[in-house]
Structure 1
Amino acid sequence: MQNTVSVATWKYNENSRYLKIFYQNGSAVLFYSVPHIIYQNFLRAQNKAAFIEKYLSYDLHFSHISIA
C-alpha cells in the first residue's frame, strides 16, 4: 500500500482482534490478530496510512487480506 492512499475509516473488533481499514480509493484491508495496544497506537497516529505501512503491512505477526 502506498502512502498516497488516505485512510477513510476503520473498524476494530476487540474480541476477534480484526482491524478493517477502508481507503478513500474504495479498497480495504483486513488485518488479523491485532492487539488492542497496537490499535490504540493506530488511533493516536497522525498519519494512519504511514502507521499501517510501517507497523502492520510489513510485520510478520499481522496477516492481512485485501478486500476489493
Structure 2
Amino acid sequence: MADIATLTLTKTHPLSPDMLRRMDAYWRAANYLSVGQIYLRDNALLDRPLAIADVKPRLLGHWGTTPGLNF
C-alpha cells in the first residue's frame, strides 16, 4: 500500500474510498488528541468515567484552529 506522503492527487487518480476512510480516521484521532491536550490533565484515553479532577482547572489555549492545523 502506498504511503500517504507519496500519493499525488490528479483528476485521473482520485482518492479511493479506503484512503478517504483512513484520512478521516487520522483526522479524527488527531483532533481527539489535541482536545485531550488542551482540556485534560489525566485519563485522556477515557479508561474510566471522566471526572472533574481529570479536567484542567485553567485552560491555557483554546480549540481554535486545531482541526485546520491537524489536516
TM-score, normalization: structure 2?
0.24
Q: Which has the larger Rg?
A: 2
- More helix by percentage: 2
Taking structure 1 as the reference length, the TM-score comes to: 0.24
Higher strand share: 1
